[in-house]
């Protein structure tokens, strides 16, 4: 957690009460906010230790919004900046060391985002403008929830500050973990999002179901993560059907891939264009001991086993920890 402590010190240097001796109210506000940051980091460190040692982790610290004051050139008064601290999400199927690393990295990014907010970076200024978009969406929250069957599971909103020339004000794209993402540009996009959600109801339902199935697949195989490409009606239907079939063919218990290779280093990419996406991901992590496996939208246990064996450079069968062999020919299974 050394990188996290360094980020926290960077935050403290910007808002230390001694910098605001001529503004006691600002100094007091910063003191209270830093106490809240300290409590957040203490709880995060406790959870990190539990994840690292395999002990039952305590619940993550609650998300909180804090008000800081930052110095401004004289004669201006200190500028108030609102910062939100939110605990990161860690997939439940990760092993202890991987989960602890993912948690620490997420908390560090949370603190770094807070520092960027205090510095008033362009990204943060854009985010402040995007609040106008959020307000426009809140005005139609009930209608959106009804259009989404009262659930946003697997569906994420990405708010962009303003429309760009030639860009759609609102569009549907692939989201993290196989879900869907709604890109909303400016208040014009916010006005169009309800119509898009209603028009793409089938694709959104499929993306939501796909995200649930991919999460279950990761937990069952013990791999690092899985994602899917393609949000259209046809490919979403194919991918959901393939995932359902695969979960019926492959029992729980994780994979056995041979000596010195852990399934937790395995990343699955599904759909048209998966090979290109896997190559880009591999290039971005050059030198890391991670393997990305590309699969088409229509696949089964045989295709999965063949793709994994090819990706890790090993011949022979891929099997589960319960001893069930996944044949790379014909899609059959037999007990060893």
Is there a single domain that holds both residue 98 and residue 188?
no
Last residue of a domain, one of 120, 151, 171: 120
Query: CA 229, CA 239: separation in Å to the nearest integer?
Result: 9
Is there a single domain that holds both residue 169 and residue 256?
no
* Total-model pTM: 0.57
Beta-carbon contacts of 48 under 8 Å, excluding residues fewer than 6 positions away, are: 1, 100, 103, 104, 107
Is there a single domain that holds both residue 55 and residue 108?
yes
Last residue of a domain, one of 120, 153, 178: 120
Is there a single domain that holds both residue 110 and residue 139?
no
Last residue of a domain, one of 120, 144, 175: 120
Contact 178, 228 (CB under 8 A): yes
Domains of the chain: total: 3
Contact 36, 15 (CB under 8 A): no
Q: Do you find a cis peptide bond into 75, omega within 30 degrees of 0?
A: yes
Query: CA 103, CA 87: separation in Å to the nearest integer?
Result: 8
Nearest of 177, 190, 127, 183 to residue 158 by alpha carbon:
183
Could you give the residue ranges of the DSSP H alpha helices within the chain? 2-15, 24-53, 96-119, 122-138, 141-147, 186-199, 201-221, 233-249, 274-284, 301-311
Is there a single domain that holds both residue 97 and residue 133?
no
Is there a single domain that holds both residue 195 and residue 214?
no
Residue 9: predicted pLDDT: 85
Sorting pLDDT into bands at 50, 70 and 90, what band is 130?
A: low
> For 157-166, 194-203, 264-273, which range has the lowest pLDDT when averaged over its residues?
157-166
**Which residues span the domain enclosing 132?**
128-199
Is there a single domain that holds both residue 192 and residue 209?
no
Is there a single domain that holds both residue 179 and residue 112?
no
Percent of the chain with pLDDT over 70: 79
Percent of the chain with pLDDT over 90: 11
Is there a single domain that holds both residue 194 and residue 219?
no
Does the pLDDT value for residue 278 go beyond 60?
Answer: yes
Is there a single domain that holds both residue 155 and residue 231?
no
Would you tell me how many other CB atoms lie within 10 Å of the CB of residue 137?
20
**Helices then strands (H, E): number in the chain?**
10, 12
> pLDDT tens digits, residue range 28-58?
999 999 999 999 999 999 999 998 888 888 9
Q: In this predicted model, which residue has the larger pLDDT, 333 or 79?
A: 79
Residue 242: predicted pLDDT: 92
Tokens of 172: 């549907």
> pLDDT tens digits, residue range 236-264?
889 999 999 988 887 776 666 666 667 77
- Average pLDDT (171-194) is 85
Is there a single domain that holds both residue 104 and residue 32?
yes
Query: CA 303, CA 325: separation in Å to the nearest integer?
Result: 13
Does the pLDDT value for residue 331 go beyond 70?
Answer: no
Does the pLDDT value for residue 127 go beyond 50?
Answer: yes
Query: CA 290, CA 306: separation in Å to the nearest integer?
Result: 18
Sorting pLDDT into bands at 50, 70 and 90, what band is 186?
A: confident
């Amino acid at each position: 957690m050394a990188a996290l402590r360094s980020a926290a010190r960077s935050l403290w240097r910007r808002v230390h009460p001694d910098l605001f001796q001529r503004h006691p109210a600002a100094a007091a506000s910063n003191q209270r906010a830093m106490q809240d940051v300290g409590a957040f980091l203490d709880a995060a460190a406790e959870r990190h230790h539990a994840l690292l040692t395999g002990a039952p982790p305590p619940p993550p610290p609650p998300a909180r919004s804090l008000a800081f004051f930052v110095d401004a050139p004289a004669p201006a008064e200190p500028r108030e900046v609102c910062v939100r601290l939110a605990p990161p999400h860690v997939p439940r199927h990760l092993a202890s060391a991987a989960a602890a690393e993912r948690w620490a990295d997420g908390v560090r990014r949370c603190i770094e985002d807070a520092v960027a907010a205090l510095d008033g970076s362009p990204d943060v200024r854009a985010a402040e403008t995007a609040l106008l978009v959020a307000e426009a969406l809140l005005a139609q929250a009930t209608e959106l929830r009804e259009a989404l069957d009262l659930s946003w599971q697997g569906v994420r909103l990405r708010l962009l500050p303003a429309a760009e020339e030639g860009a759609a004000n609102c569009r549907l794209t692939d989201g993290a973990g196989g879900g869907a993402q709604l890109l909303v540009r400016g208040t014009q996009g916010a006005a169009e999002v309800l119509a898009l959600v209603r028009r793409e109801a089938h694709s959104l339902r499929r993306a939501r179901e796909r995200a649930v199935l991919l999460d279950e697949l990761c937990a069952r195989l013990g791999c690092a993560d899985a994602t899917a490409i393609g949000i259209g009606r046809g490919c979403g239907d194919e991918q959901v059907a393939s995932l359902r079939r695969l979960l019926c063919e492959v029992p729980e218990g994780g994979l056995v891939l041979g000596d010195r290779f852990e399934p937790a280093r395995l990343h699955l990419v599904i759909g048209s264009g998966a090979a290109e996406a896997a190559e880009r991901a591999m290039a971005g992590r050059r030198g890391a001991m991670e393997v990305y496996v590309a699969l088409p939208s229509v696949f089964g246990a045989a295709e999965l086993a063949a793709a994994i064996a090819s990706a890790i450079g090993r011949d022979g069968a891929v099997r589960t920890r319960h001893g069930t062999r996944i044949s790379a020919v014909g899609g059959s299974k037999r007990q060893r």
